[in-house]
Amino acid sequence: MLISLHIENYALIEQSDISFDKGFVAITGETGAGKSIMLGALALLLGGRADSGVLYNHDRKCIVEAQFNVAQLDLQHLFSEADVDYNNDGIIIIRREILPSAKSRAFVNDTPVPLPFLKQLAPAIIDIHSQHANLLLAENGFQISLLDSIGNNASDLDKYKKCYRQYTDLKHQLELLTTQEQQNRRDYDYNKFLFDELQQANLADGEQEELEQESSLLNNAESIKESLVQMVQICDADDESALARLNVCKSQLSKIAHFNPSLASLAERLESSLIELSDIVSTAESLNDDISYSPERQQQVDDRLDLIYRLQQKHGVDSIAALLQIQQDLDKKLSNIDLTDQQIHEIMEAVDRTFGQLQKLADILTSRRTKAAEKLIGDISPLLDDLGMHNATLNARVDSTPNYGPTGNNSVSLLFNANKGGELRELSKVASGGEMSRLMLAIKALTARASLLPTIIFDEIDTGISGDISVKVGDIMHRMSDNMQVIAITHLPQIAARAAQHLKVYKDETSGRTLSKIRLLNDEDRRHEIAVMLSSDPPSQAALQTATELMSRQ
């Protein structure tokens, strides 16, 4: 239930704190006094659109905060999924702030939350019924929801919804795989050509570098051999060569090496140099013998490199490793065609199985909704009679459709006739505004018996109602409040008199400003307010007497 509401800097409200009792609460006030402002503030808490235009003082932020007792509801899972703290005492505090910049922030139990969480939470804790909500009676979704509420179909509906989500997920997977398979088929020939071309090339990682080195060697074989020959001749051709002269140097150092350690070190170093130079000359001679120019081999290497460069350019890469990866990816794509066919077959079977389950669950819902329709017709007749619609007839027809949606495959039609012996026709085409209001009230009264919803707010549902009928409306709301908190914004004294708590909204035009305020009325204030609603201000003695009589019906 709604425990309290704090409104600060919103529309014509500078600051207001309202406490609500459980049971039946009436809110009255003149037209334009600001009753709708309170509903607008509540709508913000429930995820409504924020607008800086609602700020009373545009230099300060607006704050709307409410306390709810939801101890009897099973809402812990919603809080857990959203990672929001849930108080064990069942008290939740929702706060919405609108900054002058028009940005808004929302909090639940002092934890910042996104607006979708508020919109998800709202239907579980409060139902705000405005005059426009009467139009819902003509909507198939509302009619199905109505029958599910009367028939206590929540468990079966939940099973159906889970199966429906599974069914739609499988259909989505099937569509994606089918699209992928069609694309694979279109690409198969081209991918097969590319794969075969790479496979026939028989590429090896590191091959390119070796071929490029060999090509460079073959292209420069003559100059390489010439340089090697000259180097060998310089180092070891005759007595004037480098090795011959170094050997002379070695002989001279050997004679004097024993005179000083430094000389001995020089001799060792020269010996090492001679060994290294001799090895270099030997290696150069071997390389010279190994290098030979072959036009045939040159052509083979150039052709192989041309193939590699062409494939790299074709695929937009610069290495054989990348080409090998492309070859591997193409192989997977070609293999995936058969795999995709298998997956499509398996998912098609799963879709068929799930659809069979969906049909069975939908049939259960159809059966239960048909019984709920019969119950609705039987239970609503006495209420309509109480509301002065003595000859009214309401019929609910449940039909099955070939299409399955999130709530089943049913189409519900509410047929109505307000006059005895008249033809039943679609509700929206034959019911007046006042009749729609009374019908909706009767329906809300029925669903309140089965619903765990803790709070319902009626915003002038009494439109088009007067006289003795308004007394009946007040009685019905009073009975509803045995099972839930009922808050009624009303212009009718007969309804206000049945409330356990009475709040009055009024305008205060002191200090050169117009403010909207709300206050709790005591018994005497209530009697005066109801008498004013009956007659005028100040009220007549007759009106005061009538107000006393109305209040005594408690």
What is the tens place of the pLDDT at every residue in 433-444?
Answer: 777 778 888 888
Percent of the chain with pLDDT over 90: 29
pLDDT averaged over every residue in the chain: 86
Given a cut of 80, whether residue 193 has pLDDT beyond it is yes
Contact criterion met (CB below 8 Å) for 104 and 98: yes
| 236-258 as b/e: b if 16+ CB within 10 A | beeeebbeeebeeeeeebeeebe
Q: Looking at the DSSP assignment, which residues form a beta bridge with residue 488? A: 26, 458
What's the pLDDT score for residue 485? 92
| 176-206 as b/e: b if 16+ CB within 10 A | ebeeebeebeeeeeebeebbebbeebebeee
Backbone angles phi, psi at 484, to 5 degrees: -160, 170
pLDDT-based confidence at 371, cuts 50/70/90? very high
pTM tops 0.85, yes or no: no
Cβ-defined contacts of 140-143 (< 8 Å, 24+): 140/411, 140/412, 141/407, 143/396, 143/412, 143/413, 143/414
Span 269-294, average pLDDT: 85
**Which residue's entry shows tokens 């003509």?**
138
Given a cut of 70, whether residue 451 has pLDDT beyond it is no
Given a cut of 80, whether residue 471 has pLDDT beyond it is yes
How far is residue 478's CA from residue 540's CA, in Å, rounded to a whole number? 27
What's the pLDDT score for residue 482? 87
Distances, alpha carbon 67 to alpha carbons 1, 95, 108, 244, in Å: 9, 9, 10, 107
N-to-C CA span, the chain = 21
Which is it for the CA torsion 410, 136, 458, 99, positive or negative?
positive
Span 183-196, average pLDDT: 81
Distances, alpha carbon 224 to alpha carbons 219, 233, 535, in Å: 10, 14, 123
Given a cut of 60, whether residue 314 has pLDDT beyond it is yes
Contact criterion met (CB below 8 Å) for 198 and 330: yes
What's the pLDDT score for residue 138? 62
Parallel, antiparallel, or unpaired: how do β-strands 91-98 and 104-108 relate? antiparallel
Greatest mean pLDDT range, 37-46, 65-74, 364-373, 392-401:
364-373
Asked if residue 538 has a cis previous peptide bond (ω within 30° of 0), the answer is: yes
Backbone angles phi, psi at 110, to 5 degrees: 65, 10
Residues in the chain: 554
What's the pLDDT score for residue 354? 96
Parallel, antiparallel, or unpaired: how do β-strands 485-489 and 24-28 relate? parallel
What's the pLDDT score for residue 261? 87
Which is it for the CA torsion 329, 331, 333, 335, positive or negative?
negative
